[in-house]
Every structure is written in C-alpha cells, then in structure tokens.
Amino acid sequence: MEQRIGSSSQPLEGEPVEGAGFDPAFIPGLTAPAQAEPEDAKPTAESEEAVPEPAGEPEPEAQASDAPAEPEAEEEAPEGGPVFEAADRRAKFVADHRGVRLSLDEENCEFRWDEVAAVETESPRFGKRFTITVHTPDRRWYPIEIEATARARFKEWESELDAVLDAYFEEA
C-alpha cells in the first residue's frame, strides 16, 4: 500500500485554484488566485529569449546605483574617550562615543546613546559566557552572549564597560 503525505484533494479540471489549501501565499481579497496552467503547455518564446545587454558603457544612472556607497564620514572619537569592545568567534559588543553596536554572525544592530534606556551585564556562576543586554525605552531588550577566554575577564569587562557608560550614558 502506498502512503502519501499531505492532502489528497486536487482541484477539479477547469476550476480556478484558490485558497490557502492550494496556494499558501493566497490571502483572500489581497491576492489574485493563482492561474492554473495546463501541464502540456509550452513556455512562450518571450520567456525563453534572453534580454540582450546594451553595448558600450552603461548609463550614468546605472553606474551610480551599481557603485558601492561610500561610507559616511564618521565622527572622530574624543581624545582619550573610553571604548569597550568584547568579542568571541561569533559575537561582538562595542560601546564607544557613537553608541552601542551588537553583532552576532551576520546580524548587526546599532543604538545611539539616546536610544538606550539601560545596559545590563550578567556573569554566570559556572561557565564562561558573559551576557550583555541592551534595553531600549520602548521596553525591548537585546541580549548578546560573549564567550570569554577565562572567567577572570568578566571583572575586567565589567570595569571597562562601566567606564564607557559613565562617560557617555546619561540617565534621564
């Protein structure tokens, strides 16, 4: 006996295919029902033809959009201003005069000092994962765990982060 996973009902021949049962992207009233194409239909000649590239140089507008954006001129750190940076193989936390930046793998987020309500640290009783949580005024929080090379780094990190918070973070 052959066993199949999923729905065994198929749309009737000639009826439009609609509903989330047949098209998970279908939203009644917002999307048009998918048009059923006959199985023996051949692709049209227009879809098979490749769009030829224009000869010569591309238009100046295309050059501007294809060129990578130049980085904005960043503010220089105040001379002697404290900077805190903690990182491991996956995560990175940086706090300096511009604000707080978190990175985990390919994901990044940045907060200016006026967007930060609190910064909380937590060191575990056992293990080497130091947790830093950034709280925002709209009651959201963004935790990041950084693996230290040794537990002795926790006190060093806490004192460095306190120096940065004392210098740049102003409580309202």
By 3-state DSSP, what share of the chain in percent is helix, strand and coil, each rounded to 5? 15, 25, 60
- Main-chain phi, psi angles of 26, to 5 degrees: -75, 125
- CA–chain centroid gap for 39, Å, is 40
pLDDT single digits (tens) 109-150 = 999 999 999 999 999 989 999 999 999 999 999 999 999 999
Averaged pLDDT for residues 73-85 = 66
pLDDT score for 169: 83
pTM of the model: 0.54
DSSP 127: S
Averaged pLDDT for residues 10-33 = 59
pLDDT score for 18: 55
DSSP 76-90: PPPTT---EEEE-SS
